Structure 1
Amino acid sequence: MKKVIFIDVDGTLINDNGVVPKSAEVAVRKARENDHLVFICTGRSKAELFPEILDIGFDGIIGSAGGYIEMGETILFHEQVKKEDVQHLVAFFTKHGIDFYLESNGGLFAGGNCKKHIQAIIENLIIEKPEAKEEIEKGIQPFHDILIEGEDLFRDDINKISFLGSDIPFEVIRKEFESKFTVIPSTVEFFGDNSGELSIPGIHKATAIEKLLQHLKVSKDDTFAYGDSYNDLEMLEFVQHGIAMGNAKEVVKKAADDITDSHDEDGIYNSFKKYGLI
């Protein structure tokens, strides 16, 4: 029977160096060959879904932590941040010296010293893990390279916002924005302490999955989801089979129905095999 599978990107489909393990690529392709539907379900906006990811082949995209749904060439849902809320956060982050970027489907718009900050992070990663230099340059460097500087940041096409680690405590930032945004710690580990993400309240991966299932006229009983971090919690709790990666946060593992191996230990492939998806 046809199943519908939702896969997070960072820390799930891709490893810590930003690269898709070969076993995960094989698993997705085999599952689709077996007539299952496989969707990306990520906090990333479409501009951050590089060819190395999309060329694997998926039936659609849930992006922006549930704020965007695409199936084939059809956009089923797209909710964006109010311009006045963007102005508020740009002013706050700029005043407090917090590096950030605004995520839209058309591009990532960098504020503060965000681009230089991320390049420094990449260079430090290579120093710390010289054996992973090739993967880091393939998987993470393109993310830096697409960041756009010098554009007007008071925009009305923004899906969500990410901010890098700084001396400003995360709880201070959460308190400033919790009335207008869902504020969670960053799903990207190397962004550092006090880093995080701001998305539209009331919208998350589970609300998007529910909308997509209604469109497909498919029962929740036929759903699987794979994730590792905070913005995967609602998704894993909503689907029939919520599966945490071996490298997932402990809170995510506790919320999941099952735990597979880590991304670099063939976690997706092994779980697909276990459940008869491939």
Structure 2
Amino acid sequence: MKRKIIFMDVDGTLVNDNDIVPDSAAAAIKKARKNGHYIFLCTGRSKAELFDHIIEIGFDGIIAASGGYIEFDNKVIMHKKVQNEDVKHLVKYFNENNIDFYLESNGGLFASQNCKNHLRKIIYGDNNLDSKKRAELDKGMNPFIECLIEGENLIRDDINKVSFLGSPIPIETIKEEFEGKFNVIPSTVPAFGKNSGELSIPGIHKALAIETLLKYLNLQREDTFAYGDGINDAEMIQYVNTGIAMGNAKEELKNVADDVTDTHDEGGIYNSFKKYKLI
């Protein structure tokens, strides 16, 4: 079979809501690469959020920060960063409006003063958590919380993207504040809950990064697949030759996808790879 190029979202696609990679998904990726196919992560996360349990599966490269960062064979192909004056603007605005947030760079995740405590309340706040779900959260989400860096200067020149939590201000108001400076969307991490969101550099998205990578590697669009679940995957799903929405995807994404597979926990990645004879 001719080599295919597969682009894989992370949150809600490769990992479940507790940040666990199903064994079936890891097995499918390893087998597909053994069969000669390229597999790239294509995620809204910055590189610092791609933890060992994800990277150790093995990938041919990374598109991160919603398309702002491209890496192949450990070489950086593209890296777009937030303008310094825009970082100052958002830090001031979020602090004045009591919005907890963290700044995403390749070297770390830099959090506002109350961010860690806020995250713990969101993720562990359900008093009815059973032991199985708590164990998954401890394994999947707790390492993320603990990696957040507090007490550092937040005016930085290495920021790819920004995430905020449980805003007391409507997301539409935040969009208006940063119009022309950031794309503002609801959070793509289900565990973050309502009124959480992400700010990324305007004019950048996953499909543009895929196009850039394909040109760099002299690969053809007709050989591409993509898997996603959220609205930030729409451009990617529509750009590739075969765009596949997870069973747990947003309905808006399912409506523009070429196919819909099962949910992450139902073996959606593995079952789809089998269907398309990638494994």
Does TM, scored on the shorter chain, surpass 0.5? Answer: yes
Please state if 1:82 is matched with 2:83: yes
Say if 1:98 and 1:112, in contact at 8 Å, map to a contact too: no
- C-alpha contact 2:113 2:150 (8 A) present in aligned 1: no
| 1:164 aligns to 2:165 (yes or no) | yes
Q: What stretches of structure 1 of length at least 5 have no aligned partner? A: none
Report the Cα distance in structure 1 between the residues aligned to 2:54 and 2:5, rounded to whole angstroms.
19
Provide, for residues 130-168 of structure 1, a one-character-per-residue CA deviation record: whole Å limited to 9, x for no partner: 321111111000110000000000110000000011221
Corresponding position of 1:260: 261
Using the alignment, how far apart are the partners of 2:57 and 2:67 within structure 1? 21
- The count of residues paired between Structure 1 and Structure 2 equals 278
Task: Trace 1:47-196 onto structure 2 (pairs within 5 A).
Answer: 47-125=48-126, 127-196=128-197
Contact (CA 8 Å) 2:18, 2:191: kept in 1 or not?
no
Q: TM-score, normalised by structure 2?
A: 0.98
Aligned to 2:15: 14
Residue 66 of structure 2: SS of its match in structure 1? helix
Deviation at 1:178, TM superposition (A): 2.0
CA root-mean-square deviation = 1.0
SS in 1 for 2:262: coil
Secondary structure of 1:159's counterpart equals strand
CA distance in 1, matches of 2:89, 2:176: 13
Aligned residue identity for 1:244: A
**Percent sequence identity over matched residues?**
62
Aligned partner of 1:216: which letter? Answer: L
Check whether the contact 2:49–2:144 (CA below 8 A) recurs between aligned residues. yes
- 1:233 & 1:178 partners in 2: Cα distance? 21
Q: Distance in 1 between matches of 2:164 and 2:30?
A: 34
- In structure 2, how many angstroms separate the alpha carbons of the residues matched to 1:129 and 1:230? 30
The one-letter code of the counterpart of 1:152 is N
Per-residue displacement from partner, 1:17-68 (whole Å, max 9, x unpaired)?
Answer: 1100000000000000000000000011111101100000000000000000
Distance 1:74 1:125 in 2: 42
AA paired with 2:230?
S
Partner in structure 2 of residue 24 of structure 1: 25
- Deviation, structure 1 residue 128: 3.1
Distance, in Å, in 1 between the alignment partners of 2:246 and 2:184 is 23
Query: 1:273 — aligned with what?
Result: 274
Q: Aligned pair in 2 of structure 1 residues 141, 125: CA closer, same or farther (>3 Å)?
A: farther
CA distance in 2, matches of 1:28, 1:58: 8
> How far apart, CA to CA, are the structure 2 residues paired with 1:125 and 1:133?
10
State the SS of the aligned residue for 2:11: coil
Residue identity opposite 1:162 in structure 2: S
Distance 2:156 2:128 in 1: 36
Q: 1:109 and 1:23 mapped to 2: Cα distance?
A: 33
In 1, the alpha carbon distance for the partners of 2:127 and 2:242 equals: 37
**Correspondence for 2:237:** 236
Structure 1 residue 126: Cα displacement: 7.1
